[in-house]
Structure 1
Amino acid sequence: MTGTMLRRLRTRQVWLEISLLLVLLLGGCAARGTGPQASSSKLDGAKYVPTLFFHGYGSSANAEMPMIRAAQRAGVTQTVVHATVAKDGHVSWRGRFKAGDEHPIVAVQFTANREGDYQVTAGWAKNVITGLQQTYHITRFNMVGHSMGNMAMVFYLLKNARNTHLPQLQRQVDIAGHFNGILGINDRPNRMTLTAAGKPTKLDRDYQQLLALRQRYPRQARVLNIYGDLNNGTHSDGSATRRRNRCATWWLDGHGRIRNDASWGQTPSTASCTTTRRSTAC
């Protein structure tokens, strides 16, 4: 077997395992612009818990489709609504919630997919959430983010987590989150360490803002934090180091302590994952 074929098989294995974790996590959960179209049947919004997928930098919602299709095959939902957010924040919708399918997926697409101002992308995320609230009267939701998508999510929470008039976050999945620096931009391999309590020894500007989440992060929310390792000595996935990814656990736990409850096995490109009270560190 060639090296290329082996890498493809490993990549496919990793995506399958990530998809399985998402199904286990999300399947357990029983705006400017016009709102999404509602089904002709009247829906009880309190019963619906949509899961929003946010793509990475320079990417698109298509990159999240392998995970979304896995959730469909597992029977989590058969409803996928597409929300496309223009640069000015206007949201265009395709699809609608369906009666009886109470865990729909919303695939979010940022048209300006290289926007680096996280306050802006957080505002776009809010437009999607409030659009769903206005149309379906949802009170709860989940989020899945990949790379930059994680930053849109956490900066949304930074500003809105305490707003009781908005839907409340239940579950969050962070994949390859660069919460405290990006290799080649403001970080280099093996530069940062973590204290025994999990606090990073170096904090970039964005992360310093996110420290406020230690007090604001929703108490009811559960988080799965997934990250990879190229096993090439950088202890990173090529963009963010494992320690930078693990920085999320410092502000996810209100006391800076992590309790390990369960674990998943090691794969060639993802570290083993251990669940905590409100987070999972890999």
Structure 2
Amino acid sequence: MKKKNWFWLGISVIILLSIGIICWHAVNNRNSYSANTNQVGQVVDRSHSAPTIYLHGWGASGKSTDSMIAYAEKHNNAHKVLTAKVKRDGTIVLRGTWLKGTPHPIIQLVFADNKNGNYYLTREWFYHLIVLLQKKYQIKHYNTVAHSMGNLTTMFYQVKYGSNPKLPKLKKQVNLGGHFDGIVGMDDKINRNYLLSSNRPKYLNSSYRYLLKYRQNYPSGVQVLNIFGNKGDGTNSDGDVSVVSARSLRYLLRGKVSNYREIEIKGAGGQHSQLHENSQIDQAIGRFLW
């Protein structure tokens, strides 16, 4: 064979190998999406169902919501369809497959920067997730289940974006150990605060003042389940969040929600980190959502 023919044969082999490598990467990354790009990828219509987004607390990871999701999958015919990871630079990566007709879809949200208490920032991360889900899956409604810091992320989001008619609307909101008016040992003290006859807390921290100022932007008609713990050790708290701080949510949402319920978990099961490992709570969430 002439040298010229060998040359073109080599070029052909290189081109075919390159195409093969590109196709391999495409197949292996078909379920991932980076929010830093302008391409949503294949758009699929999942507007018929409202996904439930699970958010973890400060310093936690997906492990803190794993058991709740597992319970929902076993007992409530729910299915985790996506994991949404927010990287430290705000990039969102979706992994998973959301099949058409999936009953009670669940999306597990995980922050790589899981100790970032700047709720003005974390709510923007949540906003980008909602926009991404709207573009990629055409969602119109969603629910949230949040523990600890996740509650403040969602509340800060709702009082800025919740009433925007161009965005998907919140249907049901579940709160676990929400420190809406302070954390014991930081900006709250044991048995210092109390609720007035109006359910307004006597002392207000900076986050609560902000939420109170912009509460009119919270969407109307949402159903809310507020779950909090009381260890029963005299502190009237779950060890990190006082009962008053958790219950202060009622005053924030007065006149805005269609239904508001509270559940107090007493004893060891009411400890702050045990709230997401409690089958009694799992049952209550399942009944409330589905």
Q: 1:206 — aligned with what? A: 207
Superposition pairs of residues 1-282 of structure 1, within 5 angstroms: 32-33=35-36, 43-254=44-255, 267-268=266-267, 269-270=269-270
Counterpart contact for 1:33–1:92, Cα < 8 Å:
no
Counterpart of 1:124 in 2: which secondary structure? helix
> Residues of 1 paired with 2:36 and 2:94: CA distance?
9
Q: Which runs of 5+ in 2 are unaligned?
A: 1-33, 272-279, 282-287
Distance 1:205 1:266, change over 3 A: closer
Q: 1:277 — aligned with what? A: none
Aligned residues: 239
Counterpart contact for 1:49–1:102, Cα < 8 Å:
no
> Residues of 1 paired with 2:227 and 2:264: CA distance?
13
Question: Structure 1 residues 75-84 or 224-233, which shifts more?
Answer: 75-84
> Residues of 2 paired with 1:69 and 1:54: CA distance?
15
Q: Which runs of 5+ in 1 are unaligned?
A: 1-30, 274-279
Distance 1:229 1:126, change over 3 A: same
TM-superposed CA distance for 1:196, in Å, is 1.0
* 1:45-84, Cα deviation, whole Å (9 max, x unpaired): 3202111111000000111011101110124322331000
AA aligned to 1:110 is F
Of structures 1 and 2, the larger Rg is shown by 2
TM-superposed CA distance for 1:252, in Å, is 1.1
Distance 1:259 1:104, change over 3 A: closer
Between structures 1 and 2, the one with greater helix share: 2
Distance 1:162 1:112, change over 3 A: same
> Residues of 1 paired with 2:132 and 2:55: CA distance?
16
Counterpart of 2:229 in 1: which secondary structure? coil
> Residues of 2 paired with 1:220 and 1:258: CA distance?
5
Counterpart contact for 1:51–1:141, Cα < 8 Å:
yes
Taking structure 2 as the reference length, what is the TM-score of the superposition?
0.75
> Residues of 2 paired with 1:264 and 1:186: CA distance?
24
> Residues of 1 paired with 2:48 and 2:77: CA distance?
14
RMSD: 2.8
Counterpart contact for 2:56–2:147, Cα < 8 Å:
yes
AA aligned to 2:146 is G
> Residues of 2 paired with 1:175 and 1:36: CA distance?
32
Distance 1:264 1:163, change over 3 A: closer
* 1:179-217, Cα deviation, whole Å (9 max, x unpaired): 111111111101111111100110011100001354222
AA aligned to 2:143 is N
Counterpart of 1:45 in 2: which secondary structure? coil
Taking structure 1 as the reference length, what is the TM-score of the superposition?
0.77
TM-superposed CA distance for 1:155, in Å, is 0.5
Q: 1:28 — aligned with what? A: none
Q: Among the aligned pairs, what percent are the same residue?
A: 34
TM-superposed CA distance for 1:104, in Å, is 1.0
Counterpart contact for 2:223–2:258, Cα < 8 Å:
no
> Residues of 1 paired with 2:249 and 2:153: CA distance?
14
Counterpart contact for 2:149–2:179, Cα < 8 Å:
yes
